[in-house]
Structure 1
C-alpha cells in the first residue's frame, strides 16, 4: 500500500504577535484589580496608549506592518484603527492566516513585552501576578478558543518569583498549555542567570519539565538590542541581532540545566538558524581543547590574568570529558527561522528535527501574505517528509498540538 504524501500547503508559525485588545485586562482581571490594571486610553490624535501603574506604552508602527506598503513603514506609533484587524482580533487573524497558508500560530505578547517584563517592572507584584493570570486566561479562553486548532497558547509567568512561576506553569498546563515565555537573558532585567549557583530558577524549570511545557525565548526578551559600539547605527545593530540568540543557546547548553532537567525543551524564537552550525562547531573545539583543566574546577578570567576556583553550580553537573554538545542540542534545543537560506542550506549540520518556521505576523519582518509560497520555495529540493517536519510536524510534536483538519479549510492563495 502506497503511503499518503504529506500535505504541504500549510505551515505552523511558532512566532507571531498579538497587539492586545483594549478590553483584555478590564474584562479578565478580577474586579478588585481593574481600576489599577492596564487600560488602553485613546488620545486626541486617535492613537491608543496603554497605562499601567507608572508605565505608559504606545504601539510601534513596526509592530503592526501587515497590509502596509514597505515605503510607509516606520517606528512612529499607530492607532488601532490604523492597523489591520488581524493584529488584535482573533477571528480576523484566522482569515489572514487562511490567506497565507498559516494553519496555526503561536503569538507572543506586545504590551506585557515578550516575556512579561512590563509586569515585572511594576512595583505592585500582587497586581502583576493578577495581570499575568488574566492574560493567560484570555489567551486560552478567548484568543485560542475563538478558533480551536488554529492557535497554540503561549503563556506568561511572574519572573520575580520562581515558585509562583512554577505554580502558574502547572495551572495552565492543566488547561492544555505547552508553551511558556521566558527571557533570553534574565540578567539585564536584574534577575539571576540560569547559571545561578543557588538554583534560583529550578522550581520553574522543574515544573516546565514535569508538565511537558516548552520554554520559549523570543529575541529581545532581555529588553536589550545588542550594540556593536556606541556609534553603530540601528540598522547594523539589528542585523547583528542573532548574537543574542546564539548566546542564549550556548548559555543553556553549557549551564548544566539540561543535565539536571533532562526532559526540558527550549525554543529560540526569531533568532534564525544560519549561525547554529558554526557555534556548535566552535563549542566542540573549545570542549576538546579546554575540557581537562575546566573539569578540574579551575576557572580563568583572561581580563584578570589569573586563575581561580569556580563557584558556579550548574557547570559542575556536566562531565566535560564525555560531553556531546551536539547531542545535547538535538535533545533540547529548537531553532526558529523566518527566512534563512543559509540555515536551510546547512540543515544537515543542524538537524531536520530541531527546526521550526515562523511568519512574524504582524511585525516588519513578516512573510505574510506570501508565507506558504515563500516557505515552499525555500524548501524546494528537500524530501516531502523533511518539508513537512519544518512546515508543521516539528511544531506539532514539540507543543503536543493537534491543528485543524486542512480539508475543512479554504485553499491558501496561490496553492490551488
Structure 2
C-alpha cells in the first residue's frame, strides 16, 4: 500500500483529483446517426474486416484503424493486441456511467475527454472528404461528446474539436461548443504543416482573440495533426524495440509546439491565453525553458526585441504541462513550475495508468502517492486539483 499523509488519508481522497487527459472511445454510429446520409460512405463508419476478423473505422474505402485499437485498458495481452470489437473493451471506455464508477475506483474526480479518430486522424478528415462534410463531422462529434458527459457534467469534461481548415467556421464552432459546455480547445501550433498560415499570422487573430476573451485554453495533444509519415513509427507496435524508441520520442513532440508559441511571439501578442501540452509528460519543460533563455540571450534576440520577456517567463505565465508515469523528473518540474503542472492518466490507452494482466502500470492512486509524497499541501493541491479547476473553469466538487 502506498504511503499516505500523516492523517492516514490518501491524497486522492483529500483532493478532487483532475485527470486532465483521458479519451473517449467513439461509438460505431457516432457519425452515421448524426450526419446527413447524402455523403454516403464518406461519413466515418465501422465495418467488419474479414481478413483481420475485426471491426474497423473507414472513411470511404480508406481504412483507418480497429474500432477497439485505443481501448486497451485492462486488455489481457500486450500491444498491439486489442479488442477486436467494441463489445470486448472495458465498459468504462465506452459507457459514461461505467466511466464514473471506474473514476471512483481509481481515485479520480474529474476527467477531461479527448478524441481518438478526430485527434489522431485529423489529416484524413482534412484530405479524404469535402470540407463541408468534415465540418459537419466536427459539429456532430462536439454534440455527441456533450451528451456523453451529461451523465455528470460536473465531473466529465468535454474538450472541443474545431474545423481548423475554415477560420470563420472555427470561430463560430468555438462559440457554439463553449455555450454547450466545452471547457477547452484541441488545437495545434504548426498548422503551416498543412498549408495554413503560422499561428502568429493575423489569419488566426479572430480565433485566438476569442479564445483569450472566453478564457479557453488551447491544448496541444501528442499526435494531433501528425502527418501520416509522422505516425509510421508509432503505428507498428509489433516491433517492440522500434516502438519503444519512436513512442518515447513522440512524447517530446510538444517541445516544438511550445517553442513555436513562445518564440514566434504568440504568447507575447495574447498575454492571457493559456497553452497546454497534453500527454507529453513534463520533465522536459524546465530544460526547454533554460534552453530557450540561453539561445535567446546568446544570439542577441533580447537586443532585437527589447519589449519581450525571457522565453522562460512566457512559459511560466502561459504554458501548462502534465504527467502520469514520471517519478524523478516530475520533482524537477515542481521545483521550477509548480504552478504549471497537472496530473493525467491517458485512460484507456495502452500507455495509460490502467493496471491489467498485460500492463506494468500501477494504479493512479499509487502513482499519486509515490510521485507527490512529502510535498506540501499547497503544492499537492495545485498539481492534483486547483490548477486544473482554475484553468478549465471546472465546477467545485460535490462529495457524498
Q: Give the equivalent residue in structure 2 for 1:177.
A: 182
Where does the alignment leave 5 or more consecutive residues of structure 1 unmatched? 297-318, 409-416
> Which of the numbers 281, 285, 310 marks the counterpart of 2:290?
281
Q: Is the 8 A contact 2:334 2:341 kept in 1?
A: no
Q: Distance in 2 between matches of 1:171 and 1:397?
A: 22
Q: Distance in 2 between matches of 1:380 and 1:125?
A: 50
Q: Distance in 2 between matches of 1:117 and 1:199?
A: 23
Please tell me the root mean square deviation across aligned C-alpha atoms, in Å.
2.7
Q: Deviations over 1:235-277 (max 9, x none)?
A: 2122222331111111111111122212111111011111111
Q: Distance in 2 between matches of 1:322 and 1:20?
A: 43
Shift of 1:373: 2.3
Q: How many residues align?
A: 374
TM normalised by structure 2 equals 0.85
Q: Deviations over 1:9-63 (max 9, x none)?
A: 5421111111101221233335666775222223456522222234322237662
Q: Give the equivalent residue in structure 1 for 2:206.
A: 203
Judged with a 3 Å threshold, the aligned counterparts in structure 2 of structure 1 residues 324 and 402 are, in CA distance, closer, same or farther, namely same
SS of corresponding position for 1:251? helix
Q: Give the equivalent residue in structure 1 for 2:25.
A: 19
Q: Distance in 2 between matches of 1:202 and 1:345?
A: 37
Q: Give the equivalent residue in structure 2 for 1:316.
A: none
Q: Is the 8 A contact 1:106 1:154 kept in 2?
A: yes
Q: Distance in 2 between matches of 1:163 and 1:356?
A: 32
TM normalised by structure 1 equals 0.82
Shift of 1:320: 4.3
After TM superposition, what 4+ stretches of structure 1 lie above 4 angstroms from structure 2? 30-36, 43-46
Q: Give the equivalent residue in structure 2 for 1:342.
A: 328
Shift of 1:167: 1.3
Larger radius of gyration: 1
Q: Tell which deviates more after alignment, 263-272 or 348-357.
A: 348-357
Q: Deviations over 1:289-318 (max 9, x none)?
A: 2125x754xxxxxxxxxxxxxxxxxxxxxx
Q: Give the equivalent residue in structure 1 for 2:4.
A: none
Where does the alignment leave 5 or more consecutive residues of structure 2 unmatched? 1-8, 234-238, 356-362
Q: Deviations over 1:53-86 (max 9, x none)?
A: 34322237662211123x5332567321221122
Q: Distance in 1 between matches of 2:194 and 2:326?
A: 29
SS of corresponding position for 2:294? helix
- The reply to whether residue 105 of structure 1 matches residue 91 of structure 2 is no
Q: Distance in 2 between matches of 1:281 and 1:40?
A: 47
Q: Deviations over 1:202-246 (max 9, x none)?
A: 22212211211111111111312597xxx9933212222233111
> Which of the numbers 95, 105, 110 marks the counterpart of 2:101?
95
From the two aligned structures, give the one with the greater helix fraction. 2
Shift of 1:388: 1.4
Q: Give the equivalent residue in structure 1 for 2:220.
A: 217
Q: Distance in 1 between matches of 2:345 and 2:194?
A: 27
Judged with a 3 Å threshold, the aligned counterparts in structure 2 of structure 1 residues 322 and 42 are, in CA distance, closer, same or farther, namely closer
